[in-house]
Structure 1
Amino acid sequence: MSNSISEPTLSPARSRKTSVTEIALRYGLLIVLFALIAVSQALYPRFLDVQNIKNILSQNAPLGIVAVGMTLVMITRGFDLSVGATYAAGATVFASLAVAGWPLWAAASVTLLVGLIAGLINGTVITRINVNPFVATLGTTSVFSGLALLYSNSSPFVVSDKSFSFIGRGSVLGLPVSIWILGAVLIVGEFVLRKTVYGRSLYAIGGNDEASRLAGLPTSLLRTSTYVICGVCASLGGMIIASRLSIGQADIGSSMALDSIAVVVIGGTSLMGGEGSVWRSAIGLLIVAVLTNLLDSLAVDSNYQLVIKGTIVVAAVALDAFARSRG
């Protein structure tokens, strides 16, 4: 008689059930997106018109760009609540320099530098002083907002130069410039995460910060870099919205932080770090954008829209917890 113990095997029915669950978890986002598109087209026959699709992508380009930076931060188990303030500061600085007669390339460079400095402050406070990311960025939100209001004297900067609107309302080869910028940021972000040592290091830090440090990774520097990238993305998003509206003011973007976190979470980036991708955040962006467009086309009250979006975020977090419990 053999004393060996055979490994337990799954029954065919159990195996099929497991595979179906895995498929649903892996491709659930795409299923939800396609279902939303189908419902939107059925309720709003002009939904799939080329111009409507362009409008949806262009309107949500700033949010998508900010979400790319937020994805990198959250993969390292971080959080950045100050992106809304940085976004508003970027819009304000960009418009103010245009009003002052600066060349657009110079105004854009300074605006991106503002985002870089904001991200560097966040990263330094979090990694060097060891302040909790939530508390740190909640505090810098007030700081950045206050500085933007002081800089603008609480007044908007209105730009009359028509060339200023090129980034926000101009087109190249039939596509809005903002969509080209969004596409470039998404492609670069996904490439960096998937194909570079830097990207793999971010996943390692999010998975186990202490083990990554012991393995020789400069964890503080890498985590700080994600806040810098997030700050630059936020200021770039602010530039686009200022260009579209031909106005820059310090009180816009109040919901940008929660909206960008919602996009990233819906996209499947884990709040516990170490998991996520830019392409999945892009799908999360499309889900939010399509849902918003559908609700707007149906004239759904904005208060109900908040309830619906909040419910989706909670469901996404619950799904993440469920997937982890099976891991």
Structure 2
Amino acid sequence: MNVHASALAEAHLPDEQTTAFAREAIEDLSQQPKKLSPKYFYDATGSELFEAITRLPEYYPTRTELSILRERGSEIAKIIPEHAALVEFGAGATTKVRLLLNQCKFAAYVPVDISGDFLKAQANGLKRDFPSLGIYPVAADFTTPFELPKAVASMPKVGFFPGSTIGNFEPHEAQAFLKSARQILGAGAQMIIGADLEKEERLLHAAYNDAAGVTARFNLNVLVRINRELGGNFDLSAFTHRAIYNHARHRIEMHLISRKSQTVRLLGTSFSFRPGESIHTENSYKYSLERFAALAQGAGWRVRESWTDAAKMFSVHALEAAES
């Protein structure tokens, strides 16, 4: 048993999710360069902070994607089957899914998210407004295989993955997710997915370094979670948020930068930081329409339709599973 496994064995963590969080955090912070998975941003506080980000004037993706869904909703409705089950991977606030539910005749909605409390609250709100819709929340990590509720087994399946979250994956991870989603949704599946487009660096920099500092608080929240859930002793004031654009890799990178030389402990393991050393917390890849189509094709999907806003800031794609 290595030192990390021993620390976990002695920690008596309360559940499998917390144990998985601890395992990943220890492994990722032990690497050079250090990193943390962005999926752990999203506890209840992180989910609320992200929703606040979506309302910021600098953050264009959400309002642009919403405009596409509003303007193209009738076109989307024409190409997906009636009485299907809509499966949302990484369900957050219900603003976007409501646009689809209002335009399309879905029989069921399956929101899937790792933050169970936030998921339950959002699902309850939908039940009041769509009383005839079957709603079956699934608390799960959507990046790993999970089972759909038996109630939707016989229905056609349409995946929904808005918000450019696909850009948070490395390209090979994005393909793996799309392959997994295709397997979960089954034969004849379709998917509606958002992807952020390449654009001027100044627009990207402003979107991820907002003047109000909400993105900084969102980034730091992963350290708050480690302290609260895993008994870490990160000093939040000793780290600062930084987001930069990596031209060569077509991505925004988010980092937490150590302000000083320091040592942090987590479940019996120490992690030393140099001044200026980074914890790489998230990437956000930006795609051209052609590169996104190639990504989808490599995962067994065909792009049936693609829509953008007039300024070509953002894209929404209708995918269909390619024949095996």
Considering Cα pairs closer than 8 Å and 6+ residues apart, tell me whether 1 or 2 has the greater RCO: 1
> TM-score, length-normalised on structure 1?
0.24
Task: Please say which structure displays the higher CA radius of gyration.
Answer: 1
Which structure: greater helix fraction?
1
